[in-house]
Structure 1
Amino acid sequence: MPRILVIDDDPAIGKLLFNHFEEMGYITHRVVTSEDALNIAAIEPYDVIFLDVRLPDGSGLDIIGQLKNTPGRPEVVIITGYGEPDGAELAITSGAWDYLEKPFKLKDVTLLLMRVIEHRERRQRNVSQNALKREGLVGQSPQIVNCLGQVFEAAQVDASVLLFGETGTGKELFARAIHNNSRRADKPFLAVDCAALPETLAESVLFGHERGAFTGAHASQEGMIAQANGGTLFLDEIGELSPAMQAKLLRVLQERVYRPVGGRRDLASDFRLVAATNRQLEIMAEEGRFRTDLLFRLRAFPIDLPPLRTRKEDIKDICDYHIGRLCGHYAIEAKGFSRDFFEAIEGYDWPGNVRELVGALEYAIGAAFAEPILCPHHLPKNLRAKIAKQTITHRNNAHAEQEGQQTQELLTLELRLPPFRQWRVDHINRMEREYLGALIAQSEGDLRQALELSELSRSRLYDLLAKHGMKLG
């Protein structure tokens, strides 16, 4: 059943949308501030979020990215006031699905919602194991499922794809998945690391050269573009290309022809381009370090790859997959994991992402040798030291944040004393939410255990959970 969150401080509009979605049979919650929205979206996975631009504690546009990265990876629909074209434009460029302009008609809301839900359901079907070849792309988190849905869609056409992602997020794996699921799957897939490509050789490597074109060119040589004919060319770290090479690559994408170094005529190559970067190409374009027209050509189909720290629920599946693969490679018996092994690695942020995790797993296999179970002490010593430091730092930061929040509340109370009833209700609600969150975590979502720990009746517990839009399990 689709889940919907309405974020609007206008009582009339908020209630109108809430009642409408409830009548349609959808699970619906409503909040009025950015803070409450981020808190509830971090706990409850939503499919669609209707977000007002003007909220009591800031602009809704500022939290679009944060909302889209919450567990449900929801689509966000912006609610904007009449005559606010800049807000509508910024909403779309910030990743919103679409926008509603006040005043709106409920039939328009219904049509928009149906399109979003149908899109999400179709994407979910498309990324099933039977529909998508996803070798090496492990996980079932909403973040990875969303990316795999985009991979499936990109594979249906020949438009250029631009993969954005931090180092180690698996950009080449995603590029191969696009190729393997496309009509070009039986043709070549060639990968070029632009960061490792010397500027003096870049043109020759990509376009090839004729005999005698330069010193040392004793024979003609085909370039990557020619070799990728009919297939896919993957240019990793494309932001490292020089301005001269950017201009030449743009011409190839526009005209679909190239000229080898020293050649006298243009040659054609039917290749599909997938590019990747961990740099901010938009900023580079604004600064004149990357061609804007090339950026437009490259990002016909942009895909943002999530860092591992935002999808830690996938870590166990990733470990199972790669431990099985590595043990098979080294012809040793498959190894299991101790419980504290996952507690350790899930508490780490993995700045090197999946690549760093796989490297740690390979080290652990060597350190364990004949031992059948992998434990935290099998991990690299420097990694264990970072995990210990990060765990303590996170704990200290959480404590400092709590103290800072309490101090700020006292200062606010001194500066502008609210009515006692309002102050009491706000604090009770916050404490109830904190208690319920801790109760769900400690009971691991088990109803019987939650009732024993809280000493609440079943009906009272359900009332509190419903009040705060939370649930067990």
Structure 2
Amino acid sequence: MAHILLIDDDAILRETFGGLMRRLGHVLTWAGSMAEGRLALARDRVDVVLLDLRLPDGYGLDLMDEIKAAPGVPEVIIITGREDPEGAALAIKSGAWDYIQKPLTPNRVTLPLTRALEYRAQKASRRPRAVLKREAIVGSGPAMEACLDQVAQAADSNASVLITGETGTGKELFAQAIHANSSRAHSNFVVVDCAALPETLVESVLFGHVKGAFTGADRDRDGLFKLADGGTLFLDEIGELSPGIQKTFLRVLQDGRFRPVGSKHELSSDFRLVAATNRDLSVMAGIGSFREDLLYRLRTIVLTLPPLRARQEDIKSLTIHHMNRLCERYRLPTKGFAEEFFQALCVYSWPGNVRELFGAMERVLLQYRNEPVLYPKHLPDEIRLQVLRANGVGEAAEPGYGDTVESGDAGIAPWKAFRRLAMEEVERGYLGDLLQISRGNVGRASKISGLSPSRLYDLFRKYGLVTRP
């Protein structure tokens, strides 16, 4: 017996599915909206979710991350309508097990549901994956666990792997993890920065050369292909390769053979290929800027890394892990954190992903190295300002000349009101830091800031900050 959750606002469908599930020996829970679906996921352990895309309070796919994070990680079957031709593609890209097009009938539902439950039972019977060598890969949320499962699968084969994801998501770390957990771990992990490959020297860099092949070639030198023999060749940012270099790569990937510059003899190299990109190679292939035949060779296994904003549950552990490493590097005491510090980090959108988070933490540490506990006020201004906007600060209009708000513009404050509130937040943070550094001495604070004592007294009074007599 399985527990099925139907999230659909059609009450007639609820009755139809209720009878079908009883005949199949399953229990059905019905939710008529996204909000009710969230409650059901929090209350019950569900095996399969039947999810309609068009719900009264939102778009069904927006629930996918929450479903994946639910206990037991239910399988998802998307319900699409004929008026939503992109629904099927979105269902597959979102990680759904299958999709069913309306109108729904018992025959249309029974087979996909049965197969999803069979797959779920097979997953439960598998042996747990071996402990992975994961170096600096931090996180244990559902998205990261799914990626690590793929790393384990990739490490068990010699197939080519394509790692995709936004800049800063850690593509090279995952490539290293695949290598470290494979049978090739004892050999080299060779990184090729595709964006920096000079087209005029590409053959020498990749294939190597023999002594006297060109001016300055004073000895034989192995290329990167040979260095990767028996190991892993990692092509970083492969989407940046020029068409000419793509052709060169494809020729070697087909048979593993190449000729060093100036040599009469071919060499061979047995390497495992892992490539990474932050670009959509399928789109590039469609417009002719990336070779389709090369793309087919690259994507035997595809690992897509989630952006940091999609794995907020890992932000705290990532922050603590990296801050501890920084403290060790700079020989500073370990930092403590207020819980609001992590809450602020989770509000920020992190366009630069994990790389940006780590850079921000280093800025915080270097600026506040003597602070034993870190609070939101210690975060960089761009993070604090986004937190303010997310909390709705400045939504009301500021009355004044030229300040008008159209009724359709609700949700964004007028520029003057937003600027004033943002500046006040920045000023408050600066003055608090100034008081701390000067130990409340206004004369010392005046010398540091360049502001007159009278101006500082006015500002301290404005923000309720206490000075030392």
TM-score by length of 1: 0.70
Change (3 A) 1:135 1:261: same
Change (3 A) 1:22 1:312: farther
Residue 391, structure 1, aligned to residue 387, structure 2 = yes
Name structure 2 gaps, 5 residues minimum.
397-406, 412-469
Report how far residue 160 of structure 1 moved: 1.0
Aligned-partner Cα distance in 1 for 2:212–2:265 = 16
Deviations 1:248-297 (A, max 9, x none): 21222222323333333432211111111111111111110011121121
Aligned-partner Cα distance in 2 for 1:180–1:161 = 14
User: 1:170 is matched with which residue?
Assistant: 170
Change (3 A) 1:366 1:310: same
Aligned-partner Cα distance in 1 for 2:28–2:262 = 65
Report how far residue 308 of structure 1 moved: 0.9
Equivalenced residue count is 392
Change (3 A) 1:376 1:399: closer
Aligned-partner Cα distance in 1 for 2:198–2:37 = 45
- Structure 1 residue matching 2:190: 3-state secondary structure: strand
Aligned-partner Cα distance in 1 for 2:14–2:259 = 60
Report how far residue 80 of structure 1 moved: 6.8
- Structure 1 residue matching 2:279: 3-state secondary structure: coil
Residue 288, structure 1, aligned to residue 291, structure 2 = no
User: 1:456 is matched with which residue?
Assistant: none
- Structure 2 residue matching 1:328: 3-state secondary structure: helix
- Structure 1 residue matching 2:385: 3-state secondary structure: helix
- Structure 1 residue matching 2:68: 3-state secondary structure: coil
- Structure 2 residue matching 1:275: 3-state secondary structure: strand
Aligned-partner Cα distance in 2 for 1:207–1:244 = 15
Change (3 A) 1:152 1:140: same
Higher helix share: 1
Report how far residue 302 of structure 1 moved: 0.9
Equivalent residue letter for 2:115: L
Report how far residue 231 of structure 1 moved: 1.2
Residue 181, structure 1, aligned to residue 161, structure 2 = no
Query: Matches of residues 258-297 of structure 1 in structure 2 within 5 Å?
Result: 258-297=258-297
User: 1:251 is matched with which residue?
Assistant: 251
Report how far residue 178 of structure 1 moved: 1.1
Aligned-partner Cα distance in 2 for 1:3–1:330 = 53
Aligned-partner Cα distance in 2 for 1:56–1:174 = 37
Aligned-partner Cα distance in 2 for 1:270–1:368 = 50
Equivalent residue letter for 2:76: V
TM-score by length of 2: 0.70
Report how far residue 151 of structure 1 moved: 1.2
Q: CA RMSD in A?
A: 4.0
Equivalent residue letter for 1:201: L
Change (3 A) 1:220 1:323: same
Instruction: Note if contact 1:41-1:71 (Cα within 8 Å) is conserved in structure 2.
Output: no
Equivalent residue letter for 1:72: K
- Structure 1 residue matching 2:107: 3-state secondary structure: coil
User: 2:436 is matched with which residue?
Assistant: none
- Structure 1 residue matching 2:262: 3-state secondary structure: coil
Deviations 1:349-388 (A, max 9, x none): 1111111111222222222334322333444xxx3x2123
Report how far residue 78 of structure 1 moved: 4.0
- Structure 1 residue matching 2:204: 3-state secondary structure: helix
Aligned-partner Cα distance in 1 for 2:338–2:80 = 51
- Structure 1 residue matching 2:274: 3-state secondary structure: strand
User: 1:210 is matched with which residue?
Assistant: 210
Equivalent residue letter for 2:388: I
Question: In terms of mean alpha carbon deviation, does 84-93 or 182-191 score higher?
Answer: 84-93
Instruction: Note if contact 1:167-1:352 (Cα within 8 Å) is conserved in structure 2.
Output: yes
Aligned-partner Cα distance in 2 for 1:18–1:192 = 56
Aligned-partner Cα distance in 1 for 2:208–2:191 = 15
Query: Matches of residues 338-417 of structure 1 in structure 2 within 5 Å?
Result: 338-379=338-379, 383=380, 385-396=381-392
Residue 229, structure 1, aligned to residue 229, structure 2 = yes
Aligned-partner Cα distance in 2 for 1:72–1:344 = 24
Deviations 1:59-84 (A, max 9, x none): x9x865x45444626643345799x9
Change (3 A) 1:346 1:120: farther
Equivalent residue letter for 2:298: L
User: 2:452 is matched with which residue?
Assistant: none
Equivalent residue letter for 1:125: P
Instruction: Note if contact 2:7-2:37 (Cα within 8 Å) is conserved in structure 1.
Output: no
Deviations 1:427-471 (A, max 9, x none): xxxxxxxxxxxxxxxxxxxxxxxxxxxxxxxxxxxxxxxxxxxxx
Report how far residue 163 of structure 1 moved: 1.0
Change (3 A) 1:8 1:370: closer
Equivalent residue letter for 1:111: T
Larger radius of gyration: 2
- Structure 2 residue matching 1:390: 3-state secondary structure: helix
- Structure 2 residue matching 1:200: 3-state secondary structure: coil
Equivalent residue letter for 2:153: E
Report how far residue 170 of structure 1 moved: 0.6
Aligned-partner Cα distance in 2 for 1:217–1:309 = 49
Question: In terms of mean alpha carbon deviation, does 352-361 or 339-348 score higher?
Answer: 339-348
Deviations 1:305-344 (A, max 9, x none): 1111111121111122112222223333322112332233
Instruction: Note if contact 1:48-1:76 (Cα within 8 Å) is conserved in structure 2.
Output: yes
Aligned-partner Cα distance in 2 for 1:305–1:47 = 25
- Structure 2 residue matching 1:229: 3-state secondary structure: coil
Aligned-partner Cα distance in 1 for 2:86–2:345 = 43
Report how far residue 14 of structure 1 moved: 4.5
User: 2:111 is matched with which residue?
Assistant: 108
Sequence identity of aligned pairs in percent? Answer: 48
Equivalent residue letter for 2:238: I
Aligned-partner Cα distance in 2 for 1:364–1:291 = 44
Change (3 A) 1:334 1:80: closer
Aligned-partner Cα distance in 2 for 1:404–1:119 = 52
Residue 317, structure 1, aligned to residue 317, structure 2 = yes
Change (3 A) 1:341 1:244: same
Name structure 1 gaps, 5 residues minimum.
408-473
Instruction: Note if contact 2:332-2:369 (Cα within 8 Å) is conserved in structure 1.
Output: no
Aligned-partner Cα distance in 1 for 2:290–2:205 = 21
- Structure 2 residue matching 1:279: 3-state secondary structure: coil
Instruction: Note if contact 2:160-2:273 (Cα within 8 Å) is conserved in structure 1.
Output: yes
